[in-house]
Structure 1
């Protein structure tokens, strides 16, 4: 049985995205995430390759509401589990 990887701290992630208090968020392959430039991000750099980056300016082009945040989280979790996605990130 394969273990499904989930995005960590989903509620905090949703708050960060909805409040726009970031320029770039890194999603790590283990489901963790960090804001570029934060102490948490600095502690992860070089230890693991990121899965994707999410850019504030990309999200500003859409009306970020709870439904779209939940959709973004689903897209991230699909990518974490090897499912090809068309997301707002690279």
Structure 2
């Protein structure tokens, strides 16, 4: 998956993954938010996910909230516990 490439060793791959994921979020209709959210949740809270993947998924969640505020607002009860768990991660990023 594209989000896993955020943690690639090569900065060119990381940048390409970031640009591709941002383009996908930017071009998806807001009705697609319920489909995209579980993918982001898996990257944010999935076992064994690297910190770069989590940071990228959180940034995409922020982008999605700007693009689809109503749909993200409806999903807040699901979003908050997942994001809350990231607050105790040891990486400051």
Normalising by structure 1, report the TM-score: 0.25
Looking at secondary structure, tell me which structure has more strand per residue: 1
Looking at secondary structure, tell me which structure has more helix per residue: 2
